[in-house]
Structures are given as C-alpha cells and as structure tokens.
Amino acid sequence: MSTNVRVRFAPSPTGFLHIGSLRTALFDYLIARTLGGKLILRIEDTDKKRQMEGAVEGLINILAWAGIKFDEGPGYLRAVDNDTQADINKDVGEFGPYIQSQRLGIYKEHSQALLKKGGAYRCFCSPARLEEMRAEQQAQKMPPRYDRACRDLSERQIAKKIADGEIFVLRQKMPLSGEIIAHDELRGDIKFAARDLEDQVLIKSDGMPTYQFASVVDDHLMEISHVLRGEEWISSFPKNILLYQGFGWRPPKFIHLTLTLNKAGGKLSKRQGDVAVEDFRAMGYLPEALLNFCVLQGWHPSASAKAPADKKDEILSLDQMIEYFDYQDMGTSSAIFEIEKLDYFNGYYIRQKSVEALTKLCLPFLGENLKLTKDSRKQSEDYIKKVIALEQERLKKLSAIGELTEFMFTDDLRYEPKLLVWKKLTLEQVKENLQTVFELLEKISATDWTRSSIETALIGYIEAKQMKAGDYLWPLRAALTGRQSSSGPFEVAEVLGKEESLKRINVAIKKI
C-alpha cells in the first residue's frame, strides 16, 4: 500500500443524509486534512432494492452545502464546482470507478482469486433450507448461524451442482478455532474467538457483492489508509481482517466511531424526530452550526494538545477544527444528541452573520409574511433588513423568522384588549397612558424618528412625572406588536416607522 494518507466516505444512496453520517464525513475530512491526505467519495450502491433515484446527486449536494469537500469521487463532483461544461459522468481521480455498481467485474475477478486461494467456497443452500435451519436454531435458543453444510463439498459435487443449474452464493471460509486479533486505533487490540464467527456471504446469488466484500476490495485497490466507521461494525471487524489476510493484503487503520444516542439512550431514529441533514437545512440550521455540533460528538478541543490552553468554549470554525484535531484524541464513550446544544450553536452563528447575508438566508422563510401587507414599504429590501436586524439576537433557526416577525408585516394586527393591561392598571388608565404616548410621539418628526429620539421623549416624560415606566411601555409594546414577548418598544417603533407606529397606537386606543 502507498504510505499516502487516503480516507474515504462511502455512503449508500438510500435516501437522505443522516446526521450521524455527516459526523462520519466530517471526521473523515478532518483526518484527511490534518494528515495532509486526500478525501475520497465512494458510492456503495450494490443494494439496489434500497436505492433511491437522485440520491447520489442529493448526497453530493448536501455534503457540499455542509462544507465537506472531496478530492476524488464520481463525476457528479464536477457539477458541485459549477463546471457546467464538464462531463459529470467522468470521474474525478485515478482510482475509479467510484460507484460500486460500476465495479462488478473487479469484484468477480477478486472473488475468483479468493476461491482459488481457498479463502471462500460456494454455498448452494436454498433460501428455504436456510430459513428452516434458522427457525430450528431459534427454537433451540441457539444463535442463528449458517451450519457450513456446503463448506466441504468435493470438486465433483460442486461441478455437478453447477451443471444442474443450482444457484449459489460465495461464502468466506472462516477459521474453526483460535483467536483473531483486530486492532482499532482508539480501542487497541480487540480479540475475537474464531468459533463465534459465521461464514458470511461475500457474493450473492445474483453476482452482486455484499458490503463486507466490496468495501475490503475497494479500500485496498483505492489505497485507503484510514477507515472510519460506526462501532456497530466492530462485530464484523475480525471478518474484515481475515479477508485482508486471505488476499495477502495489509489492512488500513480502522477507527470505530461511537454511536450518537438520543437522551433516552437509544439510537437516533426518524420516529423520534428529524435526523436527516436535509431536514435540518430546511428548518434553517446553518452548516457551520451543524459541523460545530457534529465535531463535539466524539471529540473535544480540551483533549487536544494542539488547542490553546485557554480554549474553554466549544465554538469552532472548520479551520480551527483542522488546526486542533487529532483522531487519536477521539473518545470511546457514546455521544448524546442534544437539540438544545445545536440550537445554541445555530443562534451563535446567526448572530455572526452580516445583516445582508442573514437577510438573504431568511428570505425563503418570509414568503407568507410578505403576503400580509399591501404596503410597498413593508415589502422593500430596506425594511426587511431592518426587521431581520431587529430579531437577529433572538433567532435560533432561520425557519423561526416567519413567526417572530409576522407582526412587523401584517396590516391587520389582531389581539385581545386585555393584552394591553400592565399589572393592576385599569383599561381606562391604559387608554389614558396610550393617549399620552401617542401625543408625545406625534411631536417627533419623521426625519428624526429613531430609537434614541423615541426613548428620550418617553423616558423623559415618565421621569419628569415620576411615573412607572411599565405603565406606559408595556401598553406601547403590546399595541405595536400584539405579542406577550418581543423586542423592545423603542426598537420596534423605529423599524415600523412613525406612520405605522401611530396607527397601531391609535387602533389600540380604539380597542379600549
């Protein structure tokens, strides 16, 4: 094998990208970048029953949106670079094809080679026999496992079955005794008893390879140096190592990622909430937040000797991740998926955006709000930017901008009069206070209508009269927003403008 660092991300095109798969892709990316290597995208599409049309392009696009860039892979990568003149069917890199369904000849060649080496054998057992065998094993409370009925067939028996047209699969010939030692980069040597291993299927009856066979062949031929995968694959780890040994190949370094669990300690699933990256994108999560969240699901800068000693917060840009990351610092304890933490990161990155950039991101979520007004001013780019800036500090995900700002666009603000009441004030007192506010604000010219001038006028009056601020400011804010909670009344009034603000105060007075 080459001494070059080559890391692969190998998803199956069976639907959307799971948040756990994004975490794997990110760690693959970080290993490649921190070690000066290359990141390869390989599509494992041998399970045609589960494959979805357009899933390959969808995977590439969502990974590109998230910020994961590949050095080699299917030609679709060219489309991500907006190279419209390039042939998207032409691979990027010299180790292709990078789509497994295009490598069937390679798998056939290597399966035949393994047969000749004695590392595999043909199994002619019918599905009905296998089902009956498993049922009997389960009835006897034995682990369901192939009984190796075809393992020792003679060459003459094999030739006759083939001549009779019997279909077969190819199984890996496992050792019957002894111990297999497989080395994991995080866990060290892991020992497995050979007697516990099943002679797994390598090539199915239709000629398609299983994941276990195809991934080993591809990783060797593509000179992959590091394989990162979930810890659920540890049980098949010895089978992989034996397969490498059967071919006489040196295995890559294996790193088994811990599982990401929900708060109840179970695996993340669609039934319990959104788990697809596409869903998080649709809800208005930023790629920076998702990456920052994912990197902490199995690694932390506090464990890194590369990170500054005073690096106590968990805010990490992709560049900082590359600077601080070392895969040997990764943990082996399960990570817990906390949506509140993701919301925290997303809110942070939203606040770092310029108003212009954030407005562009929020526009797709404001369509319904813009239909609530016939006022061209409230539909203008300048007004929308001011509304976005008003809510930027409170915004945790982009999709919330619609609900947060609806009151800023509507021409018909609806709420119950009791919302205007502050503490023990009567409706008559509220009406008098709003009338006072109206008269004070009416004196401010439209050109001098700013948060500062509004605040000066109202607070100056309240202090001079030695009144309570809440008796005036709560009714004002309720009149302007129709909400129990919102941004402050001075900021809201400034963005609404003098005419709209006075109109809303007047409507509130009439409600009473």
Contacts by residues 48-52 (CB-CB < 8 Å, ≥ 24 positions apart): 48/101, 48/208, 50/12, 50/14, 51/12, 51/13, 51/14, 52/13, 52/14, 52/15
CB 237 within 8 A of CB 192: yes
Tell me the per-residue pLDDT of 9-67, one tens digit each, with 9 for 90 and over: 999 988 899 999 999 999 999 999 999 999 999 999 988 777 788 888 899 999 999 99
Binding residues for ATP: 270
User: What average pLDDT does this structure show over 191-206?
Assistant: 95
Tell me the per-residue pLDDT of 432-475, one tens digit each, with 9 for 90 and over: 999 999 999 999 999 999 999 999 999 999 999 999 999 999 99
pTM score, two decimals?
A: 0.91
What are the start-end ranges of the H helices in 140-210? 155-163
Q: How many residues does the chain have?
A: 512
Give the span between the Cα atoms of 510 and 512, in whole angstroms. 5
Selection from 281, 278, 283, 280 nearest residue 402 by Cα: 283
Fold of 104-257: Rossmann fold (3.40.50)
Domain boundaries, the chain: 104-257, 355-410, 417-511
Annotated catalytic residue 270: yes
pLDDT at 1 over 60: no
Give the span between the Cα atoms of 335 and 388, in whole angstroms. 34
User: What average pLDDT does this structure show over 167-189?
Assistant: 97
Binding residues: 123, 125, 150, 152, 270
Tell me the per-residue pLDDT of 96-120, one tens digit each, with 9 for 90 and over: 999 999 999 999 999 999 999 999 9
Question: Residues of the chain with pLDDT > 90: what percent?
Answer: 85
Q: What is the CATH number of domain 417-511?
A: 1.10.10.350
Residue among 117, 270, 360, 418 flagged as catalytic: 270
